[in-house]
Amino acid sequence: MDISSSHRIEERRGRLTLIANEVARLAGTTLLEFGAATRKIKKTKNALDAKAYCIQQLQRLMPKNFMAATPWPQLEHCACYLKAITLRLDKYRADPTRDAQRLTEMKPQEQRYWCLVAERKGAQDARMLEFRWLLEELRVSFFTQDLRTPQPVSIKRLEKA
C-alpha cells in the first residue's frame, strides 16, 4: 500500500464514523417511536378499524430488516411515520367520524398500490417506491397534520404519480 492510499483510508475513516453514528442515532429514534406506537396500539380499545389499519401500517414500516429494506431518505422520516400512528390513535377519540372518513379516502390508494405489487410479484421500480412513500406522507397529512410532511401531498398528487 502506498502513502496516498493510506492517507485516503485515514481521511475516510472519520467520515465512516460519522455515518455510523448517524445510522445508530436514527435506528435508536425509530425504535423508540416503534415502541410507543406498539404500546398505543395495544392500549387502544373501541377503534377496531383504525387499530387494524395501524397494525398493518406498523408491519409494513417495520419489517425485521427495516434498516436495510428502507431507503435512506425514508428511513430519516420513519420515526415521524411511527409517531403519526401514536398521534392518530390519540386523536381518534376526539373525532372518530373524521378518522373513518380519512380512512375511506386512503384505502383505495393503498389497495391500488398493493395490487400492483402483487401483480408484479413484489418487483418494484422507482416510480412504485415513490408512490409507496407518498402513501406514508399522505397518511401523516390526513391523520396528523401537525407533524407536517416534507413535501406537499394529496390524493391528486398520488394519482399523478
Task: Centre a 10 Å sphere on the Cβ of residue 100 and count the other Cβ atoms it contains.
Answer: 14
The three cell numbers locating residue 106: 386512503
For residues 47 and 37, give the distance between their C-alpha atoms in angstroms, rounded to a whole number.
15
The mean of the pLDDT values for the chain is: 88
- 76, pLDDT greater than 70: yes
Which position has the higher pLDDT, 158 or 102?
A: 102
pLDDT digits (tens, 9 = 90+) for 21-63: 999 999 999 999 999 999 999 999 988 999 999 999 999 999 9
Please tell me the pTM assigned to this model.
0.85
Place 124 in a pLDDT band, splitting at 50, 70 and 90. confident
Q: How far is residue 81's CA from residue 84's CA, in Å, rounded to a whole number?
A: 5
- pLDDT reading at 117 higher than 60: yes
